[in-house]
Amino acid sequence: MTQQTPTPPAGSHEPAAEHMTTNRSSSSTTVTESSGSTAGAVHGGSSPSWTHKVTDPSFWADWAALIGLVALCVVFQIGNTTFLSTNNIQAMLVAASILVVLSLGQTFVISTAGIDLSIASAMTLGAVSFGSAFGNGQPIWLCCVFAVLGSAAVGVVNGLLIGVAGITDFIVTLGTLSAAAGVALVVSDGQPTTIFDTFLLRLSTGGIGRIGWPVVVAAVLAVIAHVVMFHTRFGTHVLAAGGSKEAATATGISVGRIKVAVYSISGTMAGIGAILLVARIGASEPAANTQFLLNSVAAVVLGGVSLFGGRATIVGPVLGALLLTALANGLTLLGVSEFYQPVAVGGVVILAALITRFQK
């Protein structure tokens, strides 16, 4: 049987698709990502009319993040004309950078039909590791290393328990969610550490022109993630393992090693997110922010990554992260109480899960 993600037909104005194939005996698994989009169309034949496209539920499912983002921008701009101002756009991009980084890590995990519930706690542990090293007088570069190592350790543990020990990912990451949060409280004694450093100040407030450094970091990581996922053998193996574990194993792919790798990537992204978070708030907070967990999963699903694995995109989760950030920002500008914002995000998560039912 051949599994394939539809790609734009000849003559379409959509970008060309990138193909990667994993062969198994007399069958093959083809994984496709449309450059710069999450949409696709069937192979061969003439290009379907726009009337046919807009009446096809899969069209809206594939473009959910972009359509939702554009719709939010229109609505919020009508409600408050400062929404699309240069300063507000700049602020939203900086605010979205941490979520983008976390979503990239979550994308690799979900592409293998897994989920990382510990990503927010791993980021908290990384931030606390940063604060602990800073409090002991370590140089800032070493503090950053400790932050990444602290978070990556959670990912490695997740990968070993899931990929090697064979325990269900939901149970493992639920357990490490609590464990990492507990370790962070023990290490910090439940107290935040104020951190002031010129490097972190430049990281949080500086940038290239009007583009902040956190945005640059997130963009660079997104490009790297795209190259790794769609232009390397490792990326092909990740998608093959998510598409069919049995088929991947039959072709000689070590699914266990892939699991260890993707959860380690997720932990590493959490560590980088921890550095950006510490730079942004000027302190290492031991309290885990579970909103990052919910939003990272929502951004990935909204972006068109299948919860069942085997289907991925990098551009989609980035757009999903921007959408969720724009939603929170727009509600704030409209004077909506912050207590209602989680309700809105929760609704988006449910909607995203519903949308995946219509993806081809």
Q: For residue 146, give both structure tokens.
A: 């400790």
Task: For residue 339, give the amino acid letter.
Answer: F
Number of domains in the chain: 1
Output the pLDDT for position 210.
Answer: 87
The verdict on residue 78 lying in a domain is: no
Taking residue 178's Cβ as centre, other Cβ atoms within 10 Å add up to: 13
The verdict on residue 306 lying in a domain is: yes
Residues with Cβ within 8 Å of 175's Cβ and at least 6 positions away in sequence, in order, are none
Q: Do residues 5 and 31 make contact, with C-beta atoms less than 8 angstroms apart?
A: yes
Output the pLDDT for position 143.
Answer: 96
pLDDT tens, 203-217? 998 999 889 999 999
Separation between Cα atoms, residue 290 and residue 117, nearest integer Å: 9
Q: Do residues 269 and 296 make contact, with C-beta atoms less than 8 angstroms apart?
A: no
pLDDT tens, 36-73? 443 443 344 455 666 766 666 666 666 778 888 898 89
pLDDT tens, 68-122? 889 889 999 999 999 999 999 999 999 999 999 999 999 999 999 999 999 999 9
The verdict on residue 180 lying in a domain is: yes
pLDDT more than 70, % of the chain = 81
Residue 241, strand partner residues:
none
Residue span of the structural domain in which 302 resides: 91-346+353-358
| Mean pLDDT lowest among 53-57, 149-153, 287-291, 344-348 | 53-57
Q: For residue 87, give both structure tokens.
A: 């300063």
Separation between Cα atoms, residue 348 and residue 78, nearest integer Å: 21
For range 3-30, the mean pLDDT: 41
Residue 353 has pLDDT above 60, yes or no: yes
The verdict on residue 59 lying in a domain is: no
Taking residue 105's Cβ as centre, other Cβ atoms within 10 Å add up to: 32
The verdict on residue 50 lying in a domain is: no
pTM reported for the whole predicted model: 0.83
The verdict on residue 65 lying in a domain is: no
The verdict on residue 112 lying in a domain is: yes
From the list 290, 309, 270, the residue with the least C-alpha distance to 114 is 309
The verdict on residue 80 lying in a domain is: no
For range 179-190, the mean pLDDT: 93
Q: Which residue has the higher pLDDT, 28 or 137?
A: 137
Rounded alpha-carbon distances, angstroms, from residue 56 to 52, 301, 303, 307, 354: 6, 19, 18, 21, 15
Separation between Cα atoms, residue 360 and residue 355, nearest integer Å: 11
In whole numbers, what is the pLDDT of the chain averaged over residues? 84
Q: Do residues 272 and 264 make contact, with C-beta atoms less than 8 angstroms apart?
A: no
Residues with Cβ within 8 Å of 202's Cβ and at least 6 positions away in sequence, in order, are 213
Rounded alpha-carbon distances, angstroms, from residue 135 to 128, 183, 189, 202, 211: 10, 17, 13, 20, 31
| Mean pLDDT lowest among 203-212, 271-280, 338-347 | 338-347
Output the pLDDT for position 61.
Answer: 66
From the list 106, 130, 340, the residue with the least C-alpha distance to 221 is 106
pLDDT band at 356 (very low <50, low <70, confident <90, very high): low
Query: Any idea what the CATH number is for the domain that residue 214 is in?
Result: 1.10.3470
